[in-house]
Amino acid sequence: MCMQRKLFLGIGIVGCLLSVSVTGLQAQSVPGAVSPGATTGKADTLPVLSLPQCIDIALKNNITVRQGQLQVQSSQLQLKQSKFNQLPSVNGFASQGFSSGRNINPSTNQFVDVGVRSNNFQLSGSMPVFQGYQLRNLIRQNQTIVKASEKELDATENTVILNVIQQYLAVLTGAEQLTVAKRQAETSQLQVERTQKLVNAGSAPEANLFEIKATLANDELAVVNAQNTVDLAKLALLQAMNLPGGQAFEIEYIKLPDPRIEGYTATALQVYEAALATQPQIIAADLRTESARIGIDVAKAGLYPRLSLSGNLSSIYSTVGLSRFVADGTTTQNRTDANVEIAGTTQPVTIITTSPGGTYQTYGFFEQLTNTLNRGVSLNLNIPIFTNRQYRTNVTTAIIQQQNAQLTADNTRLQLRQQIETAYTNLLAASNRYRATDASVSSLERAFKAAESRFNAGAINAVDYSLAKLRYDNARAQLVQAKYDYVFRTKILDFYQNKPLSFN
At 416-472, the pLDDT tens digits run 999 999 989 988 888 888 888 888 888 888 888 888 888 777 777 777 777 888 788
Percent residues over pLDDT 70 in the chain: 86
Digit-coded pLDDT (tens) for 361-401? 777 788 888 888 899 999 999 999 988 888 899 999 999 99
Digit-coded pLDDT (tens) for 160-214? 988 998 898 889 888 888 988 898 888 888 888 888 887 888 877 888 888 888 8
Most confident range (mean pLDDT) of 73-87, 437-451, 483-497 is 73-87
Residue 265 scores a pLDDT above 70: yes
CB half-sphere exposure, 290, CA atoms < 13 A: 15
Residue 260 scores a pLDDT above 70: no
**pLDDT the model gives residue 37:** 39
Residue 116 scores a pLDDT above 50: yes
What is the DSSP track for 361-428? EE--HHHHHHHT-EEEEEEEEE--S--TTHHHHHHHHHHHHHHHHHHHHHHHHHHHHHHHHHHHHHHH
Q: Kindly state the average pLDDT of the residues 254-271.
A: 67
Sign of CA dihedral 55, 58, 59, 60: positive
**What's the whole-number average pLDDT of the chain?**
81
Sign of CA dihedral 92, 98, 103, 107: positive
pTM for the full predicted model:
0.75
Digit-coded pLDDT (tens) for 267-284? 889 999 999 999 999 999
Residue 44 scores a pLDDT above 70: no
3-state helix, strand, coil in the chain (%, to 5): 60, 20, 20
Q: Which residues contact 442 (CB under 8 A, 6 or more apart)?
A: 23
Q: Kindly state the average pLDDT of the residues 304-311.
A: 92
